[in-house]
Amino acid sequence: MHEWALAEAVIAAAAEAAEKERLKEITEVWIKVGELQQVELDILEFALSQLKTDKFKNAKFKIATAKAELQCRVCGHKWVFNKETLDKDAAEAIHFVPEVAHTYIKCPKCGSPDFEIIEGRGVWLESIKGAK
């Protein structure tokens, strides 16, 4: 049900942005979802469609995934996260608490769990379009 909470937050953030821009109707909302969040996109899309109200009644939600890029703090190696390398329990743990990624993911070059998430974490609004 984490996707429903994300959908509520996206709609609230888009409504706030629309209010600042004085939009009377929102026609399009672009959302970017970090791969490390491991959000079920079909559930998120369904939740967004069910939570549409007034200003959002004709809105189209467009969702893109941001690949997770990591960098080792020990050796400096950069790599792209591949969730297929995780077992089911690790993937589920990261899905609910992305901060535990350091427990399950190691640098492929030196094996260190000390890395920085450069990109691919979080959920954010890329843009909104609407009519004034």
Domain residue spans of the chain: 2-131
Tokens 């030196």: give the residue. Answer: 110
Q: Could you tell me if 32 and 123 are in contact, meaning their C-beta atoms sit under 8 angstroms apart?
A: yes
User: Rounded mean pLDDT of the chain?
Assistant: 90
- Report, at the CATH architecture level, how domain 2-131 is classified: 2-Layer Sandwich (3.30)
55 φ/ψ sector (left φ>0, alpha ψ -120 to 50, else beta): alpha
**CA 2 – CA 126 distance, rounded (Å):** 20
Tokens of 128: 């909104």
pLDDT number for residue 1: 53
Q: Could you tell me if 47 and 61 are in contact, meaning their C-beta atoms sit under 8 angstroms apart?
A: no
pLDDT digits (tens, 9 = 90+) for 42-79: 999 999 999 988 889 999 999 999 998 999 999 999 99
pLDDT number for residue 120: 86
